[in-house]
Amino acid sequence: MGSIIVLDREGKEHKLNAQSGLTIMEIIRDAGLDIEAACGGCCACATCHVYLDKDSFSLLKSMQDDEESMLDQAFSVNNYSRLSCQIEYEEKLDGIKMTLAPE
C-alpha cells in the first residue's frame, strides 16, 4: 500500500492511502474529499479533474483519446490536468501529488 497527496480546494493537504487497482478518483472519493465524479468514472463528466504537480504528471501513462476529448471540454484546464478516474494507481505512483480542480 502506498499513498497519494491531495490538496483540497482550501489548500489543505491530505495524505491518502492508495491501493493498486483503484483509480485516483476512487481513492479521493472513498477518503471523503469533495470530488463530484458525477459519471462514476466513465470518462463522461470531467468533474474528477485534478492538477498534478510536474514530477507526478511525468510518471503517468499518456492519455487515451476519450480522456483528451473530455478534458478539451472542461474548464480551467492546464498543462498538468488529468481526469483522475482515468488514472489507475500502481506502485510507481507512490507519493504523487495533485490539487483538486475548481468545481
45 interacts with ligand FES by CB under 6 A = yes
| Cβ proximity to ligand FES, 1 vs 52, nearer residue | 52
Q: What's the min distance (Å) between Cβ of 54 and ligand FES?
A: 22
Residue type, 79: N
Whose CA is closest to 7, among 101, 95, 79?
Answer: 101
How far is C-alpha 5 from the chain's CA centre?
10
Using CB under 6 A, pick the residue from 3, 7, 41, 63 that binds ligand FES.
Answer: 41
Using CB under 6 A, pick the residue from 46, 52, 98, 101 that binds ligand FES.
Answer: 46
Q: Which residue has the cell 483519446?
A: 65
37 interacts with ligand FES by CB under 6 A = yes
Q: What's the min distance (Å) between Cβ of 58 and ligand FES?
A: 21
Q: Is the separation of the CB atoms in 57 and 99 below 8 Å?
A: no
Q: What is the H or E stretch that residue 50 is in?
A: strand 49-52
Q: Is the separation of the CB atoms in 55 and 32 below 8 Å?
A: no
Q: Which residues bind ligand FES (CB under 6 A)?
A: 25, 37-39, 41, 43-48, 70, 83, 85
